[in-house]
């Protein structure tokens, strides 16, 4: 049996007629940027996130970058970022001129360990940027408490967790201003690059709208050296359509995860993802860890199963971040996860049979080591 790591075929086929109609409407309208479709999506997505405002932008990296710019974060500032994340979370900070300060994750949830944050707060710290990694909401209680105590802003990176919750709060609604991504493979994916900012602040909403459009609150008048980072009508129309299905897709992802967890529950040589109390997990990725990772990955590949590693090298060890002067051993938990994590196939359309097959091969591997 062949099992791809991810496939958009099932969703694409199911929505084809509606999607083509939506695309045709945009095509025929003759209006492709900053129009009705964007407005409709911003309204629908802010409603979904339970925030007052949503600002569509060109991608997730821009969403985070612009979110930080609206808070006037820049040179000489520091922002707390998890050491275990996709590099975009750190890059958004660096682009403002501020310094990303890495905090280690909890080894079981893979998310930032809130109890390690306070030690990293300095007089320069301006914000905490929790990343709801792999689809699980971060444990926000202590993060919110620290933000209040030290007067810091929270900016959520919600690129992987649209629809997740912490207590009764949606991810993307807990920070003062937050960013998300609709990269095609994300839980809510566009037909190309797309992203959004969410906030409850009308002031930050206005600033973000200006930043995404040349720093121009009014056509041909520019307040700041803004960006061109707009979410186009085609993507907005498609995302509005897909958003209606997101909750149903999350349940499908959670069912697949439950099947993995059940089938692999007895494997003592690997670790399964753990969901923290009061958090929900929307399983953008299903990530296991084992010291046998490379051998397991090769074994699965030999049996037709594609897997990926999220992520093989943490941001602090990337060439791009050598100026931070961090070396191997400085953030050992992130480094360990990078060596041991493996993402199993997870997508809408993955069948029970396929999940069982993946698990059988993993169990077989376990019997051979
Ligand atoms: C995908 C992703 C981003 C960036 O999104 P793009 O749309 O690719 O720019 C940021 N943070 C995390 C955690 C992501 O997974």
Give 349-368 as a DSSP string.
Answer: T--HHHHHHHHHHHHHHHHH
pLDDT given for residue 46 in this prediction: 98
85 C-alpha to ligand 1 centroid (Å): 10
Which ligand 1 atom is the nearest neighbour of the CA of 194?
7
pLDDT given for residue 256 in this prediction: 98
279 C-alpha to ligand 1 centroid (Å): 21
- The CATH code of domain 246-368 reads 3.90.1150.10
Which ligand 1 atom is the nearest neighbour of the CA of 63?
9
Q: Output the CA–CA distances (angstroms, integers) from residue 255 to 20, 54, 261, 276, in the order listed.
A: 29, 30, 10, 18
Residues with Cβ within 8 Å of 334's Cβ and at least 6 positions away in sequence, in order, are 82, 83, 84, 102, 104, 105, 314, 316
Neighbour-count burial of 329, counting CB atoms closer than 10 A to its CB (0-12 exposed, 13-18 middle, 19+ buried): exposed
Pocket of ligand 1 (CB under 6 A): 59-61, 85-86, 88-89, 131, 157, 159-160, 181, 183, 193, 195
Average pLDDT estimate for 306-333:
98
Average pLDDT estimate for 131-135:
98
pLDDT given for residue 146 in this prediction: 98
Q: Which percentage of the chain shows pLDDT scores above 90?
A: 100
Alpha carbon 191 to its chain's center? 17
The tens digit of pLDDT for each residue in 152-193 reads 999 999 999 999 999 999 999 999 999 999 999 999 999 999
Which ligand 1 atom is the nearest neighbour of the CA of 59?
7
Which ligand 1 atom is the nearest neighbour of the CA of 88?
10
Please give the mean pLDDT across all residues of the chain: 98
Q: Determine which residue's CA is closest to atom 6 belonging to ligand 1.
A: 60
pLDDT given for residue 227 in this prediction: 98
pLDDT given for residue 68 in this prediction: 98
237 C-alpha to ligand 1 centroid (Å): 21
- CATH 3.40.640.10 residue ranges of the chain are 9-103+110-243
**Fold classification of 9-103+110-243 (topology level):** 3.40.640
Distance (Å, whole) CA 190 – CA 253? 18
Distance (Å, whole) CA 343 – CA 133? 12
Tokens of 155: 């900016």
180 C-alpha to ligand 1 centroid (Å): 7
- Using most ligand atoms within 8 A of CB, pick from 62, 66, 89 the residue to mutate for ligand 1: 89
pLDDT given for residue 33 in this prediction: 97
Q: Which percentage of the chain shows pLDDT scores above 70?
A: 100
pLDDT given for residue 264 in this prediction: 98
179 C-alpha to ligand 1 centroid (Å): 9
E strands, 58-124, in order: 78-82, 99-103
pLDDT given for residue 93 in this prediction: 98
Average pLDDT estimate for 37-57:
98
Which ligand 1 atom is the nearest neighbour of the CA of 61?
9
161: closest CA among 139, 131, 183, 118?
A: 131
Q: Determine which residue's CA is closest to atom 12 belonging to ligand 1.
A: 159
20 C-alpha to ligand 1 centroid (Å): 26
Q: Determine which residue's CA is closest to atom 7 belonging to ligand 1.
A: 60
- CATH 3.90.1150.10 residue ranges of the chain are 246-368
Distance (Å, whole) CA 181 – CA 98? 22
Distance (Å, whole) CA 196 – CA 65? 11
pLDDT given for residue 52 in this prediction: 98
Average pLDDT estimate for 253-259:
98
pTM for the structure as a whole? 0.98
60 C-alpha to ligand 1 centroid (Å): 5
Which ligand 1 atom is the nearest neighbour of the CA of 183?
7
pLDDT given for residue 114 in this prediction: 98
């Amino acid at each position: 049996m062949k099992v791809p790591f991810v496939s958009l075929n099932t969703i694409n086929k199911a929505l084809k007629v509606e999607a083509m109609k939506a695309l045709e409407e945009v095509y025929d309208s003759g209006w492709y940027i900053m129009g009705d479709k964007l407005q409709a999506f911003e309204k629908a997505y802010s409603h979904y996130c339970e925030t007052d405002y949503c600002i569509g932008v060109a991608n997730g990296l821009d969403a985070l970058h612009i979110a930080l710019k609206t808070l006037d974060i820049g040179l000489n500032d520091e922002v707390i970022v998890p050491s275990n994340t996709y590099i975009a979370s750190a890059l958004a900070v660096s682009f403002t001129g501020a310094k990303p300060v890495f905090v280690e994750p909890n080894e079981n949830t893979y998310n930032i360990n809130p109890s390690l944050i306070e030690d990293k707060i300095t007089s320069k710290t301006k914000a905490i940027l929790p990343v709801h990694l792999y689809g699980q909401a971060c444990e926000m209680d202590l993060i919110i408490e620290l933000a209040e105590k030290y007067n810091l802003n929270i900016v959520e990176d919600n690129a992987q967790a649209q629809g997740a919750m912490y207590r009764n709060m949606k991810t993307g609604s807990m920070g003062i201003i937050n960013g998300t991504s609709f990269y095609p493979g994300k839980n809510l994916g566009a037909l190309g690059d797309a992203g959004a900012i969410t906030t409850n602040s009308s002031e930050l909403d206005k600033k973000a709208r200006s930043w995404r459009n040349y720093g121009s609150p009014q056509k041909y008048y520019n307040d700041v050296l803004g960006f061109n980072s707009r979410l186009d009508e085609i993507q907005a129309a498609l995302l509005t359509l897909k958003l209606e299905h997101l909750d149903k897709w999350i349940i499908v992802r959670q069912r697949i995860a439950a099947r993995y967890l059940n089938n692999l529950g007895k494997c003592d040589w690997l670790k399964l993802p753990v969901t923290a109390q009061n958090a929900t997990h929307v399983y953008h990725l299903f990530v296991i860890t084992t010291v046998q990772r490379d051998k397991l990955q090769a074994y699965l590949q030999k049996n037709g199963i594609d897997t990926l590693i999220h992520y093989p090298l943490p941001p602090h060890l990337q060439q791009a971040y050598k100026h931070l002067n961090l070396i191997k051993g400085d953030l050992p938990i992130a480094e360990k996860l990078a060596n041991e994590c493996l993402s199993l196939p997870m997508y809408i359309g993955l069948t029970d049979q396929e999940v069982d097959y993946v698990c059988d091969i993993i169990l077989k591997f376990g019997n051979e080591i």
